[in-house]
Amino acid sequence: MKLKSITISLIAAATLFACEKKETPQINLPDEQKQIVVSAFAGEETINIKANTTPNVNVMDDAKSWLSVNITKSLTPSIIHLNFTQNDTGDKRVGSIIVTGENVEPQTIVVAQYPRTFKQNGVLTLHEGNWNQGNSKLGFIDENNTVTPNFFGDNNNGDMLGDITTDVINYGAKTYVVANGSEQIQVINTLSGKLLASINTKKYNNDQKVDPRYALGTNGKVYVTTWHKGLLVIDTTELKIIKDIDLSEAYHEQIVANKDNIYVANSGRETDPFGGAGTTISIIPISTEIESETIKVPSNPNRLGFDKNGKLYVATWVNYVIPNDDDAMLHQIDVNTKKIIHTFPISVGKFAITDNNIFTYHFSYITSKPYTTKIDVATNLQSDYNKTFSAYGIESLYDISAVNNTLYFLANTGAIVKASVDGVLMQTYPTNGTLNGNKVIPIYTETTVR
């Protein structure tokens, strides 16, 4: 009788234990952790969850490019580790993480990341100067319109920037100036103006001419077009050329990027002594850094630019050595079909793109005056824009830049006119003593809260 009583007690205990083990699986994720905002900078966040089952986490496709997760599994509690990259997209991005477990209703964590923010506090101005004079200048205009004509020289013991500077870009905290005539890429601290490195492109090519032209910063690198060595790739940490990319034709000019591809205008051929016979735009996927195909265009493609809708524009300057009646023209390209879809019935040598418009520049050798046209990017409609700049004391323009929907017209004399997209004069800057202003770019200081 005593043995039977012990047996019944053991069975009851076992039954009770079994019932306790079969409690309903649960994952406890507090409401305040179902929606989180992470830093604009790369980093890690952790989320604690309580569960009586083994949790699993997965990042949805909408965030896999910038967000990853792993989990330290434990019953008290499990820890989800969120790792995210820096947001340099300029836009807020949102992604979803799904938390699951056996026989548990899936739960969603929404992760938001705002972009880094910057404040413009001035512009850099580039003047290419005269051939073989070595008198190019990089200037600075602050937000109060105070001009430092020789920003580079003043901060580098009076040293010269180089000979015939064809381009300037900011990438990261550095400014890259392409000096075509002196075969150099000058790398400068953007805020201090101090020279960080001088990259000799001719030395990279076994002392043979390269003729660097235009630059682009993307994918953690700086790409520089050349007339005779394809596309140079610069490591932005070591500040040296690490390789070159073969391109079709030669005399490679402006370079732009959109989404996953780089585009380069090929203005000539190696058998063409002056350039101008080229008829293609190279497409280089950023992921491979190998030219994949080309877009056929009229002779001598030179200037490139994308509008906000992803349409590509190219100014073709015609073949210099073949007499014809053509003039420099502007064409609109669909990058999906890789075809020209519109040619504007105006002569265009250079242009700048704002949010809603393209502003073109052409110097008429008939009237000896500069003219600009305003094009609506949504409709392709054209209108006059300050047909002449003589009222501003400028008779001959050299180039045009757009900075945050403000236009800068650069004169042969070195003077600069700042104007609104509606043609209203905002400011004039006298010459800095160097001819041929050719680009204006903004300087920003970061205002992101960590």
Q: Are 324 and 437 found together in one domain?
A: yes
Average pLDDT, the chain: 88
pLDDT tens for residues 349-384? 899 999 999 999 887 555 566 678 999 999 999 988
CA dihedral sign of residues 246, 250, 256, 258: negative
Is it the case that residue 324 has pLDDT exceeding 80? no
Q: What is the CATH number of the domain that holds 380?
A: 2.130.10.10
* Beta bridge partner(s), residue 137: 127
Q: Are 351 and 377 in contact (CB under 8 A)?
A: no
Of 109 and 321, more confident: 109
Most confident of 60-69, 312-321, 330-339: 330-339
Q: Are 95 and 134 found together in one domain?
A: no
pLDDT confidence tier of residue 31, bands split at 50, 70 and 90: confident
Of 89 and 387, more confident: 89
Last residue of one domain, picked from the residues 81, 97, 113: 113
Coil, strand or helix at 18:
helix
Is it the case that residue 160 has pLDDT exceeding 90? yes
Is it the case that residue 172 has pLDDT exceeding 70? yes
pLDDT confidence tier of residue 16, bands split at 50, 70 and 90: very low
Kindly state the average pLDDT of the residues 16-26: 59
pLDDT tens for residues 247-264? 999 999 999 999 899 999
Question: What is the structure's pLDDT at 6?
Answer: 47
Is it the case that residue 335 has pLDDT exceeding 50? yes
Range of the domain at 75: 27-113
Question: What is the structure's pLDDT at 188?
Answer: 97
Q: Which helix (H) or strand (E) holds 10?
A: helix 2-21
Kindly state the average pLDDT of the residues 284-295: 97
Is it the case that residue 10 has pLDDT exceeding 50? no
Question: What is the structure's pLDDT at 271?
Answer: 84
The two three-digit tokens of residue 214, written as one number: 């235009």
- What is the C-alpha separation between 434 and 129, in angstroms, rounded? 5
Domain assignment present for residue 6? The answer is no
* Beta bridge partner(s), residue 263: 256, 283
Question: What is the structure's pLDDT at 296?
Answer: 97
* Beta bridge partner(s), residue 98: 58, 108
Kindly state the average pLDDT of the residues 51-64: 86
Count structural domains, the chain: 2
Q: Are 71 and 193 found together in one domain?
A: no
Question: What is the structure's pLDDT at 29?
Answer: 80
How many Cα neighbours within 13 Å face the side chain of 412?
Answer: 9
Q: Are 184 and 166 found together in one domain?
A: yes
Kindly state the average pLDDT of the residues 127-139: 92
The two three-digit tokens of residue 73, written as one number: 């599994």
Domain assignment present for residue 18? The answer is no
- What is the C-alpha separation between 396 and 362, in angstroms, rounded? 10
**DSSP structure string for 379-439:** T--EEE--S--GGGT-S-EEEEEEETTEEEEEETTS-EEEEETTS-EEEEE---S-S-EEE
Is it the case that residue 112 has pLDDT exceeding 60? yes
Kindly state the average pLDDT of the residues 319-343: 86
Of 215 and 131, more confident: 215
Q: Are 85 and 128 found together in one domain?
A: no
Domain assignment present for residue 265? The answer is yes
Angle among Cα 97, 102, 105 to the nearest 5 degrees reads 55
Q: How many CB atoms lie within 10 A of CB 267?
A: 30
Q: Are 126 and 88 found together in one domain?
A: no
Of 395 and 354, more confident: 354
Question: What is the structure's pLDDT at 275?
Answer: 76
Whole-model pTM: value is 0.79
Last residue of one domain, picked from the residues 113, 143, 168: 113
Q: Single out the residue of 269, 177, 159 nearest to residue 214, CA to CA.
A: 177
Domain assignment present for residue 342? The answer is yes
Q: Are 45 and 180 found together in one domain?
A: no
pLDDT tens for residues 235-247? 999 999 999 999 9
Question: What is the structure's pLDDT at 387?
Answer: 55
Kindly state the average pLDDT of the residues 391-408: 84
φ, ψ for residue 54 (rounded to 5)? -75, 115
Is it the case that residue 434 has pLDDT exceeding 90? no
Kindly state the average pLDDT of the residues 189-215: 95
Q: What is the CATH number of the domain that holds 107?
A: 2.60.40.10
User: What percentage of the chain carries pLDDT values higher than 70?
Assistant: 89
Question: What is the structure's pLDDT at 17?
Answer: 47
pLDDT confidence tier of residue 386, bands split at 50, 70 and 90: low
Of 319 and 201, more confident: 201
Question: What is the structure's pLDDT at 8?
Answer: 47
Kindly state the average pLDDT of the residues 158-183: 96
Domain assignment present for residue 414? The answer is yes
- What is the C-alpha separation between 263 and 314, in angstroms, rounded? 11
Kindly state the average pLDDT of the residues 103-108: 85
Domain assignment present for residue 105? The answer is yes
pLDDT confidence tier of residue 403, bands split at 50, 70 and 90: very high
Q: Are 197 and 98 found together in one domain?
A: no
